[in-house]
Amino acid sequence: MEYTVDGIFIVDAQAQDFPITYVNQAFQSMTGYAKTEILGRSYFLFYGVDADPRLVNEIKGTISKGESFHGEMLNFKKNGKKYWNSLRIAPVRDAHGTVTHYIGIQTDITLMREKELEIDEQREELLHVTRVGKLAEFVSSLAHEISQPLTAILSYAQAAQRMLANREPELQKVLSYIINDDQRVAEVIKRLRLLLKKSLPEMKALNINTLINETIMLIATDATVRNCVIKTEFDLSLPSIQGDRIQLQQVLLNLISNSFDALESSQGTHEILIRTLRQDSATLIVEVKDSGCGIPAQNIPKLFTHFFTSKPDGLGMGLAISRSIIEAHGGRLEVKNNPDRGATFYFTILINKKDL
């Protein structure tokens, strides 16, 4: 009993405060208390002030009736560190049936519970991924349905323009506004459908500045709703890159969305700056800088790992996927806190070999 891996203790049932009369070495290790700190003291003093009081009262009520208890509970060591244990307490009776002692066995199941919680969290994340995938299918279908009436509106407006040629200049102006806005919305929907389309990566020569502008158009409505301003500083002399347009847009959308979230708690100007510049003869840099709350130093090393998130409703996959995409393009995605406030995500990407 002294050298078992389970914590074993004996409680005096005759005394009102249930003092402990025996503990083995495992119980001392589990609780963090020495034998001299345990013997003679009430067993219930070793649950910690943060233990669930309802469960503690249930244990008290059960053994006060001379009955056995079996259950799991979150407990706390002497140093405040929490641990889970499976607890079994059974009464010991004398020849007359009177309960004289209780023998208790507690097994540390912390690792098992942590694994269960981790599996539960991952199951929820995978379910969320499935829901997001279904939503993407719905949005793609919706975009297809919207494109049809937009085409009809464009045709009617253009027909009206032809019918009113050289007449009604004010009405002609209104019709031109309708046509321009219709074409702009149709282009946004076209890009959205391409973004959601399932396809193999297609590496092509791309202008990074044009790609960023197209991405900003996709997220412009969200920026307006969030009262955020997106500014750009482009090096217009940059050569083309070799990459998959959809995947790189996915990275940019993720980084800009993260900046939106960071700006929500900011009291200052809600502003995002996207810069492009040349790093060296073979590499470009894209920076997405915000003036938000910044990133806690302890979170930076974990930021790109799967399922890590600081958001209550976050999935914890966006940055991990984004880094994988950039690495597949021969670059590197990193983050740094700004000297004043906010953070900057930045990635490198290779210049198209034909332009070298």
List Cα–Cα distances, 132 to 125, 206, 264, 284, 306, in angstroms. 10, 28, 23, 32, 16
How far is the C-alpha of 250 from the C-alpha of 3, rounded, in Å?
57
How far is the C-alpha of 34 from the C-alpha of 78, rounded, in Å?
10
Lowest average pLDDT, out of 6-10, 138-142, 248-252, 266-270, goes to 138-142
High-pLDDT (> 70) share of the chain, %: 83
Phi, psi (rounded to 5 degrees) for 245: -60, -45
Instruction: Please state the rounded mean pLDDT for residues 149-162.
Output: 83
Question: Is residue 208 a contact partner of residue 324, using CB atoms and an 8 Å limit?
Answer: no
Break the chain into its structural domains and give their ranges: 7-108, 110-198, 200-356
Query: Where are the extended beta strands (E) located within the chain?
Result: 7-12, 20-23, 69-76, 82-93, 99-108, 203-206, 229-233, 241-244, 271-280, 283-290, 333-337, 343-350
CA 353 to chain centre: 36
If phi over 0 gives left and psi between -120 and 50 gives alpha, with beta otherwise, what is residue 341?
A: beta
Instruction: Please state the rounded mean pLDDT for residues 75-92.
Output: 87
Q: Return the half-sphere exposure (C-beta side, CA atoms, 13 A cut-off) of residue 144.
A: 9
Q: What is the pLDDT of residues 217-271, one digit of tens each?
A: 878 877 888 888 999 999 999 999 988 888 898 889 889 988 888 888 777 778 8
Instruction: Please state the rounded mean pLDDT for residues 160-181.
Output: 82
With CA atoms as reference, report the closest residue to 8 among 65, 84, 88, 68: 88
Q: Does residue 315 surpass a pLDDT of 60?
A: no
With CA atoms as reference, report the closest residue to 197 among 126, 141, 146, 242: 141
Q: Does residue 124 surpass a pLDDT of 80?
A: no
Which tokens sit at 56?
Answer: 């503690």
CATH topology of domain 200-356: Heat Shock Protein 90 (3.30.565)
CATH 1.10.287.130 fits 110-198, yes or no: yes
Show the CA angle centred on residue 212, arms to residues 207 and 213, nearest 5°: 100
With CA atoms as reference, report the closest residue to 104 among 156, 154, 133, 62: 62
Q: What is the DSSP string of 318-348?
A: HHHHHHHHHHHTT--EEEEE-SSSSEEEEEE
Q: Return the half-sphere exposure (C-beta side, CA atoms, 13 A cut-off) of residue 198.
A: 4
DSSP state, residue 290: E
Q: Is 118 helix (H, G, I), strand (E, B) or coil?
A: helix
How far is the C-alpha of 252 from the C-alpha of 249, rounded, in Å?
5
Segment holding 174, helix H or strand E:
helix 169-196
Q: Give residue 331's pLDDT.
A: 92
How long, in residues, is the chain? 356
Q: Does residue 134 surpass a pLDDT of 60?
A: no
Q: What is the pLDDT of residues 32-53, one digit of tens each?
A: 889 999 999 988 887 766 677 8
CATH topology of domain 7-108: Beta-Lactamase (3.30.450)
In 197-280, alpha helices (H): 208-225, 245-263
Confidence band for 122, pLDDT divided at 50, 70 and 90:
low
